[in-house]
């Protein structure tokens, strides 16, 4: 040891995603390399390292921690405190202690290359092992019951390690040192194939070839994944896919497809560079990719030219593909609008009439988590659903809150959020809360997160909507409640992701949300900061004919827009194809309801204007799936056409009447491409006009409407041309899945001003 360096004793606390990612063995190896003595332990608050040695070497050691942590780790904060010397001899890894729980939980990760190589190596003891994993891969969040993360806190606690696994688990230099789901053929969960009456058909590795055989014959199998079951069938077999749709009562909504690898995917689809990169990340999301010339079953994604694609991510998937040569449908096993199913018994109860066979193993899924869905817009990720791989998602921000805050999100695409100290945490996608099952799942998720973070909320944040189940739940908890307007929360979610605190101009375009005046909003233009907002513009309200029903039937929305401009007899004389979808007496009936305001609430939603446009273009009149209108209009868009329609803005109210007149003209001539293109161009023109008055402000684009790839691309391009700085969410959902994050962002600022 050099003479000029004095001896030092320090405690280093590392916070972030540092548990269950091989962090302590990494610390152990680094301490050994720099001849430092001391110990390392997992605490509820992060990883705690106590080291002694020369000051130089401690400094070098800290640089390694900071600059070269394990691939799955994310370091948010390192704190170093000088200590009295403890005269350590050697370096050791201590058992976990149970202190405060503020550490971040690692999301689930796809099987790594090293594990796959072992699985395919006939000389390895885990050859063909369907649950192979290590500290760099495998399940995390989905098997954790509580923190700190060790095997007694996961669903692996019922399995006793064999001596060989135990040896690896105890050896700090082994890749499986403290890999909590460690197991092998001898000591791990057992794979089983059953028919839908729960009769055992095969066990162990025999299951895989049998399952592949059944898939080849057109059967529908439920196969256990990481965060739930998938329903799988041969994606090239039209009759199998149609049967699945029929049994699941899911007529049109696109189904996700799983490919064995990128080579297979590229024979069917045309991913760009960024999409290819996302498809093969350790998070393995579903990525929307353009269809190629070689086709799969046409009923997978009817009428649109993209497919939701993912690459195999569990060892079991890879083994299955070694026996099955082509792509597989892999859709979440659930009944429509219900949560993803976690265990075989529930599966038989709820989907007994959908599946033919079940592939299961006895490692429980503690926390259900759906596959994430993303798309690439302008070379950046846009998140449509945040689930496996990405969540729990944590953000560190600059405001530290003295209180514990729970945000309960919205009603559709629900997720929940927690704020404590300087952390904002967003749960995985929970779903639409329209069923009892979904509401139970919501409550279970709240309990799970409270347990993970030892969290009792002081404040609960919810949407202003009086009948949202989450808002009602929040008000029944006996805590202080803060309500946040829906579209304000959308803007705040974007601000939270980018850490924006200054005033921004926010375009909040989505389906529906409860407005401050009691009407339905969704085409709002706000000036926003974390504390407050002002509505400076909005679409002139029109009527939802039939209320909720209008959301399911775009033709009612097109009709409502006509009633704003034309008399009933004028409407009767129009030669628009969508009008043929009404029975002869219906027009008069709807007009009466419109006139007398019977079950015809006002709304300013741009999502609903999109629906109306799809009906004007004669592509969608009823029973679309959420977002279908936008997707279909995108397909019609012609970038060569420069057409935009006239509109007026008075006192911030955007009147689309002249646009509707023009569209009627084009509609009678069946010029649908011009309608779709002109409408999207008009929206960007309107936004440009608003932006002109606020050129010094950053711009936030938020709400589900901006899932539309063409609209978002055009807006960003046009607004950036004006010199504006434009933000839209990448890592968190731009749709209602991000509402909880926005609610948190407002609450942490508001609570801070109250308490200081």
CB of 323 to Zn ion, least distance (A): 22
CB of 136 to Zn ion, least distance (A): 5
d(CA 340, CA 224): 11
Which residue's CB is nearer to Zn ion, number 94 or number 186?
A: 186
Beta strands in 588-745 (DSSP E): 602-603, 648-650, 653-655, 699-702, 726-727
Neighbours of 399 (CB within 10 A): 16
Considering only residues 480 to 539 of the shown chain, the ones binding Zn ion according to CB under 5 A are none
Q: Does 545 bind Zn ion (CB under 5 A)?
A: no
Which residue's CB is nearer to Zn ion, number 136 or number 729?
A: 136
Which residue's CB is nearer to Zn ion, number 76 or number 362?
A: 362
Neighbours of 307 (CB within 10 A): 26
Q: What are phi and psi of 419, to 5 degrees?
A: -130, 130
CB of 125 to Zn ion, least distance (A): 8
CB of 164 to Zn ion, least distance (A): 5
Which residue's CB is nearer to Zn ion, number 72 or number 494?
A: 72
Q: Residue 22 is encoded by which pair of tokens? A: 């091989």
Q: What are phi and psi of 459, to 5 degrees?
A: -135, 140
Which residue's CB is nearer to Zn ion, number 115 or number 459?
A: 115
Binding mask 107-146 for Zn ion (x = CB under 5 A): -----x--x------------------x-xx---------
Helices 486-498 and 739-755: crossing angle in degrees, nearest 10, is 80
Residue with structure tokens 């033919």? 356
Which residue's CB is nearer to Zn ion, number 165 or number 359?
A: 165
CB of 219 to Zn ion, least distance (A): 31
d(CA 574, CA 591): 15
Considering only residues 318 to 377 of the shown chain, the ones binding Zn ion according to CB under 5 A are none
Stretch that binds Zn ion, among 156-164, 267-275, 405-413, 434-442 (CB under 5 A): 156-164
Q: Please compute Rg for the chain using Cα positions.
A: 28
CB of 225 to Zn ion, least distance (A): 17
Q: Quick one: which of 187, 270, 536, 565 contacts Zn ion (CB under 5 A)?
A: 187
Q: Quick one: which of 80, 153, 162, 481 contacts Zn ion (CB under 5 A)?
A: 162
Beta-ladder partners of 417? 407, 426
Stretch that binds Zn ion, among 119-127, 182-190, 391-399, 532-540 (CB under 5 A): 182-190
d(CA 351, CA 343): 11
Stretch that binds Zn ion, among 158-166, 230-238, 341-349, 695-703 (CB under 5 A): 158-166
Strands of the sheet with 37-43, listed across from one edge: 74-82, 7-17, 46-54, 37-43, 91-93
Q: Quick one: which of 18, 119, 156, 165 contacts Zn ion (CB under 5 A)?
A: 165
CA angle, 389 then 395 then 399, to 5°: 170
Stretch that binds Zn ion, among 187-195, 534-542, 605-613, 687-695 (CB under 5 A): 187-195
CB of 67 to Zn ion, least distance (A): 23
Which residue's CB is nearer to Zn ion, number 63 or number 186?
A: 186
Stretch that binds Zn ion, among 22-30, 90-98, 177-185, 435-443 (CB under 5 A): 177-185
Q: Residue 334 is encoded by which pair of tokens? A: 């659930």
Beta-ladder partners of 16? 75
Strands of the sheet with 191-195, listed across from one edge: 200-203, 191-195, 357-361, 221-224, 229-234, 328-332, 257-259, 306-311, 286-290, 373-377, 380-385
Which residue's CB is nearer to Zn ion, number 54 or number 136?
A: 136
Stretch that binds Zn ion, among 161-169, 236-244, 246-254, 303-311 (CB under 5 A): 161-169
Which residue's CB is nearer to Zn ion, number 20 or number 417?
A: 20
Which residue's CB is nearer to Zn ion, number 115 or number 680?
A: 115
Which residue's CB is nearer to Zn ion, number 94 or number 164?
A: 164
CB of 318 to Zn ion, least distance (A): 12
CB of 48 to Zn ion, least distance (A): 26
Which residue's CB is nearer to Zn ion, number 120 or number 713?
A: 120
Considering only residues 461 to 480 of the shown chain, the ones binding Zn ion according to CB under 5 A are none
**Dihedral of alpha carbons 257, 387, 739, 721, sign:** negative
Stretch that binds Zn ion, among 155-163, 330-338, 409-417, 631-639 (CB under 5 A): 155-163
Q: Does 156 bind Zn ion (CB under 5 A)?
A: no
Instruction: Of 542, 565, 536, give the one whose Cα is nearest residue 651.
Output: 536
CB of 312 to Zn ion, least distance (A): 14
CB 751 within 8 A of CB 459: yes
CB 486 within 8 A of CB 408: no
For the chain, the distance separating the N- and C-terminal CA atoms, rounded to the nearest angstrom, is 50
Neighbours of 127 (CB within 10 A): 14
Stretch that binds Zn ion, among 4-12, 60-68, 162-170, 384-392 (CB under 5 A): 162-170
DSSP annotation of 465: -
Q: Please name the residues in contact with 549: beta carbons below 8 A apart, sequence gap of 6 or more.
A: 556
Q: Quick one: which of 186, 574, 589, 598 contacts Zn ion (CB under 5 A)?
A: 186
Considering only residues 56 to 115 of the shown chain, the ones binding Zn ion according to CB under 5 A are 112, 115
Which residue's CB is nearer to Zn ion, number 102 or number 136?
A: 136
Which residue's CB is nearer to Zn ion, number 112 or number 664?
A: 112
Which residue's CB is nearer to Zn ion, number 37 or number 137?
A: 137
Q: Please name the residues in contact with 77: beta carbons below 8 A apart, sequence gap of 6 or more.
A: 13, 14, 15, 16, 46, 396
Q: Residue 126 is encoded by which pair of tokens? A: 């885990």
Q: Does 184 bind Zn ion (CB under 5 A)?
A: yes
CB of 162 to Zn ion, least distance (A): 3
Beta-ladder partners of 309? 257, 287
**Dihedral of alpha carbons 334, 338, 339, 342, sign:** negative
d(CA 82, CA 266): 55
Residues that bind Zn ion (CB under 5 A): 112, 115, 134, 136-137, 162, 165, 184, 186-187
């Amino acid at each position: 040891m050099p003479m000029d360096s004095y001896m030092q004793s320090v405690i280093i606390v590392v916070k972030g995603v540092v548990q269950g990612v091989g962090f302590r063995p990494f610390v152990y190896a680094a301490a050994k390399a720099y001849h430092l003595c001391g110990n390392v332990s997992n605490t509820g608050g992060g990883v705690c390292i106590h080291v002694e040695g020369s000051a130089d070497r401690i400094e070098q050691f800290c640089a390694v921690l900071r600059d070269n942590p394990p691939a799955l780790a994310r370091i948010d904060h390192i704190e170093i405190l000088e200590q009295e010397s403890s005269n350590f001899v050697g370096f050791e890894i201590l058992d976990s202690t149970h202190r405060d729980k503020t550490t971040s939980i690692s999301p689930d990760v796809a099987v790594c290359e090293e594990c796959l190589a072992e699985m395919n190596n006939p000389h390895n003891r885990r050859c063909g092992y369907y649950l192979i994993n290590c500290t760099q891969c495998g399940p995390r969040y989905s098997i954790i019951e509580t923190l700190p993360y060790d095997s007694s806190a996961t669903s692996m606690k019922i399995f006793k390690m064999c001596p060989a696994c135990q040896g690896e688990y105890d050896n700090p230099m082994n890749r499986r040192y403290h890999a909590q789901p460690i197991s092998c053929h001898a000591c791990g969960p057992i794979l089983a194939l059953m028919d839908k009456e729960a009769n055992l058909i095969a066990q162990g590795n025999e299951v895989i070839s049998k399952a592949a055989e059944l898939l080849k014959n057109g059967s529908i199998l439920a196969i256990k994944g990481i965060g739930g079951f998938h329903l799988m069938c041969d994606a090239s077999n039209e009759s199998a896919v149609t049967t699945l749709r029929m049994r699941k009562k899911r007529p049109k909504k696109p189904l996700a497809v799983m490919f064995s690898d990128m080579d297979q995917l590229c024979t069917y689809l045309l991913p760009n560079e960024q999409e290819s990169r996302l498809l093969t990340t350790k998070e393995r999301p579903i990525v929307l990719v353009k269809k190629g010339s070689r086709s799969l079953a046409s009923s997978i994604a009817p009428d649109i030219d993209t497919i939701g694609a993912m690459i195999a991510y569990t060892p079991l998937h890879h083994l299955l593909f070694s026996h099955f040569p082509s792509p597989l449908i892999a859709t979440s096993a659930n009944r429509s609008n219900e949560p993803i199913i976690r265990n075989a018994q529930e599966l038989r109860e709820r989907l007994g009439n959908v599946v033919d066979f079940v592939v299961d193993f006895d490692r429980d899924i503690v926390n259900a988590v759906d596959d994430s869905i993303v798309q690439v817009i302008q070379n950046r990720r846009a998140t449509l659903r945040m689930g496996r791989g990405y969540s729990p998602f944590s953000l560190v921000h600059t405001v530290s809150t003295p209180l514990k805050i729970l945000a309960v999100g919205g009603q559709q695409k629900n997720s929940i959020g927690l704020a404590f100290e300087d952390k904002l945490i967003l749960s995985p996608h929970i779903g639409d809360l329209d069923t009892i099952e979904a509401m139970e799942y919501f409550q279970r998720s709240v309990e799970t997160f409270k347990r993970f973070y030892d969290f009792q909320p002081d404040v609960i944040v919810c949407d202003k909507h009086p009948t949202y189940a989450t808002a009602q739940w929040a008000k029944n908890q006996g805590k202080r409640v803060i309500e946040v307007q829906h579209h304000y929360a959308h803007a705040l979610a974007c601000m939270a992701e980018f850490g924006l605190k200054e005033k921004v101009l926010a375009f909040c375009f989505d389906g529906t949300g409860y407005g401050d005046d009691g009407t339905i909003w969704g085409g709002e233009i706000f000036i926003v900061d974390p504390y407050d907002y002002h509505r400076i513009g909005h679409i002139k309200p029109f009527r939802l004919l039939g209320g909720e029903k209008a959301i399911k039937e775009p033709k009612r929305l097109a009709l409502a827009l006509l009633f704003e401009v034309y008399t009933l007899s004028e409407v009767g004389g129009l030669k628009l194809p969508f009008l043929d979808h009404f029975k002869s007496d219906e027009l008069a009936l709807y007009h009466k309801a419109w006139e007398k305001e019977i079950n015809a609430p006002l709304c300013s939603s741009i999502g609903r204007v999109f629906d109306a446009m799809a009906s004007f273009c004669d592509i969608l009149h009823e029973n679309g799936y959420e977002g279908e209108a936008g997707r279909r209009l995108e397909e019609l868009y012609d970038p060569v056409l420069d057409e935009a329609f006239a509109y007026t803005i008075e006192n911030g109210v955007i009147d689309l009447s002249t646009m509707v007149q023009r569209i009627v003209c084009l509609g009678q001539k069946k010029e649908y491409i011009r309608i779709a293109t002109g409408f999207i161009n008009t929206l960007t023109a309107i936004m440009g006009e608003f932006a002109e008055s606020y050129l010094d402000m950053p711009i936030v684009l938020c709400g589900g409407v901006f899932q539309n790839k063409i609209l978002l691309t055009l807006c960003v391009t046009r607004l950036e041309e004006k010199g504006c700085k434009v933000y839209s969410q990448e890592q968190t959902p731009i749709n209602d899945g991000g509402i909880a994050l926005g609610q948190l962002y407002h609450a942490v600022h508001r609570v801070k001003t109250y308490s200081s």
